[in-house]
């Protein structure tokens, strides 16, 4: 038999909801931090790729390339 009053039931429900909200806020903060870290990493990687492309363009000869130039040194 349930001897709790409607006010107690409401208080218990409110407490459970506050606990769930607290966990949800913590998860949201954690995810926001992770997304910010990933965005920083993406920005760095895009910068690095851009540098590598520019470096390749600066070093690559512009004309015809022979397949012999592509052979590894042991051939």
pLDDT in tens, 5-46: 999 999 999 999 999 999 999 999 999 999 999 999 999 999
51: buried, middle or exposed (CB in 10 Å: 19+, 13-18, 0-12)? exposed
Please report which confidence band the pLDDT of residue 3 belongs to, taking 50, 70 and 90 as the band edges: confident
The dihedrals phi and psi of 70, each to the nearest 5 degrees, come to: -90, -10
Given a cut of 80, whether residue 63 has pLDDT beyond it is no
Vertex 59, ends 56 and 64: CA angle to 5°? 100
Phi and psi at residue 7, to the nearest 5°: -65, -40
């Amino acid at each position: 038999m349930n001897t709790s009053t409607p006010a107690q039931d409401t208080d218990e429900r409110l407490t459970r909801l506050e606990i769930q909200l607290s966990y949800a806020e913590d998860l949201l903060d954690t995810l926001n931090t992770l997304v910010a870290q990933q965005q920083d990493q993406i920005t760095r990687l895009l910068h690095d790729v851009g540098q590598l492309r520019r470096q390749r363009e600066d070093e690559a000869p512009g004309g015809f390339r022979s397949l012999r130039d592509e052979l590894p040194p042991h051939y």
